Structure 1
Amino acid sequence: MAIAPGTEVNLEVKLLSGQTLATVTAGPSWTTADLKQLLGSHVTPDKRIESLMHGDRALGLQETVAAAGLVSGVVLQAVLIGVPLLHVFRRCSARELSERRGCGRMWLVGGAGEVHIVADHVQHSGMDSAPQAGKEVATAMATVAPDLENIIVLHSESEESGEILVISSPGQDPKQACISALALLDRDPEMGESSPNIHEHATLVSKDWNEHLERGFSCMDEAEGSLLAITKIMADSLEQHFEFSFDDEVVTAPVIYGGYASDGSIVGVLSARVWT
């Protein structure tokens, strides 16, 4: 945004630790939203700015610099929160993952919706940067199932194999964490308002993987031994077990079988299903 000469306001923004995040020059009509957008480039991908504090008061999102009484030399405090990030053993983009685990195509709404329903230009992280406890569980799962990407994990109107993932900084809402980490759009971009709200059709079912030790996490009639071994590891090493999926408004959709590791990260198996 343009700043009229002579109206510049120079602000220092610090983290809760006292470390300076950035020094920015703003205009009096700039809003807190404008400041957060500018400061976003100074924050690592696994974090975002939840709020900006002036003293003990959180600035309103549409509050302007002038209305907040901010002048040059004022120090603001940025409150950061974690952003769910997806970690996989074979790094890829969100769209590449959709195609890799898309039952021969990609995740899609179906019907009039035949395009990607994940964001473009989103790059998933490698397993090397995953939280330690989550990475250890994921590695143990990969060790007992080295050919998971060639094993049928889920039977629907198609057959899909799987791969192991970790979600860092998931927070306490696993459904929202999966939606965010997979970079799922809220609507099919070509259908627009006629598209179902994809996020609203996500489902989360609580599970106890201890009850699936004989048939495996995906309830296969004749589960591969490696799937049973993964199920045992998830039962022993994870808490708050769940199955994340979608109802039939989304024809081809991701499915995650997982739970929380001791460091708060989510670990699971990603597959997909087709319902027409």
Structure 2
Amino acid sequence: MDTSVTPDAVAELSAREVRRSVLSRWGFRIGVVVGWLSFIGAWYLVTEFVLGAQQLPPPHVVAQEAWEVLSDEGFGATVWASLLRVLVGCTLALIVSVLFGMVIAYSNWWRNLLRALTRFFVSIPSVALAILALIVFGVSGLGPTLTATLVATPYVMSSVAQGLTGVDRRLIVMSESFGRTRAQIITGVLLPSSVLSVIGGARQAFALAWRIVLLTEVFAASDGVGFQIKRSFESYDVRGLLAWTVLFIGIMLLFENFVFRQLERRAFGGAHAVGGTGRQQ
């Protein structure tokens, strides 16, 4: 049996891999389209045969209402009020998580202490924190921001600590043998090696912060998307409530696809570049 590698065999294998990759991408896209169509179809069926149009408006009615909300002059200010709180809460949670993640990764005593505190904060209901924010901060933008930070930090800290723990210890030992300081090791080895975990933690912080900010705005804010959802609920405007929810989901998907995925691709490429440079050295 001839097992020699020829240029024709390599070209044929490459062509098969390209076709397989193209088919895989198209299969994923078709699956996404079929999934959304199935969801919309199920929505129409539930509206028609289970709940009725008054309790659950059909998708085209919600889409029309969402377009009217989107065309309103105050839409931008409403979304920006919530988005600013989310971004600030997400950033604070990420900073605290990176700092404590380093401590957890390299100190057993702090690891045990922070694990106990993490279990405590994770067990607190989000609704209780939202009401507590109303009591402590009143109706203001500070309550939703700090509540989002408090809820997101334990989850993100665990993700970041796991990424830091997985850093190759040989790189740290080699850096120490060359006389690098602790600050240089952190900035030159730990953070670049765990950048994907940090970005994953940022994505998780953003997702959690969105949910908590909207929940807290229902109780403790006078503007924002959560406040608009509360107004729609109080006036029994199901179309408006669903329209704001759909727009909220759309904004989440935009951030997911055009911010975090792009950051992950660039960071993944940069990690390969760093690894290649290290091997060449």
For the criterion TM > 0.5, the same-fold answer is: no
TM-score range, shorter chain: under 0.3
Q: Which has the higher contact order (CA 8 A, sep 6+)?
A: 2
Higher strand fraction (1 or 2): 1
Higher helix fraction (1 or 2): 2
- Return the TM-score normalized by structure 2: 0.20
Larger Rg: 2
- Return the TM-score normalized by structure 1: 0.21
